[in-house]
Amino acid sequence: MKSVSHIKCPNCGEFNTDRDNCETCDALISHKKKEETRATKVKEKEMAIAIEQFEKLNLADRLRKHPFFLVKILGWALQSVWIVLNIIGGLIAWFVAMVAAG
């Protein structure tokens, strides 16, 4: 036995039977359809946020997240070289400051 749903339109107040949209004002009244549209909007928003975060990554981070393992290794090597160069630069700056201080 099929159940019949009677839904009152929030816009015009008309009662509708087994419909997704109102007969008079064509407003969306189906709860399932509303949930589907909300879910798709949330998915689209999450995808936009994920794409934005991915675009903010620098080259080494993007390489380290690549699915191909050789590219991942290149990303890790690039990151390691960058860290070592920063350490060397910091040590040189420290040494120059110590020499200048006397």
Residue 45 lies in a domain: no
Residue 31 lies in a domain: no
Residue 27 lies in a domain: no
> pLDDT tens track of the chain, all 102 residues?
577 777 888 878 888 888 888 888 888 877 788 888 899 999 999 999 988 887 887 888 888 888 999 999 999 999 999 999 999 999 999 999 999 997
Q: Residue 87 corresponds to which tokens in the numbers above?
A: 């350490």
Residue 87 lies in a domain: yes
Residue 24 lies in a domain: no
Residue 74 lies in a domain: yes
Q: Residue 25 corresponds to which tokens in the numbers above?
A: 């004002």
Query: Per the structure, how many domains does the chain have?
Result: 1
Domain residue limits at 82: 57-102
- The Cα 98–Cα 85 span in angstroms is 20
Residue 88 lies in a domain: yes
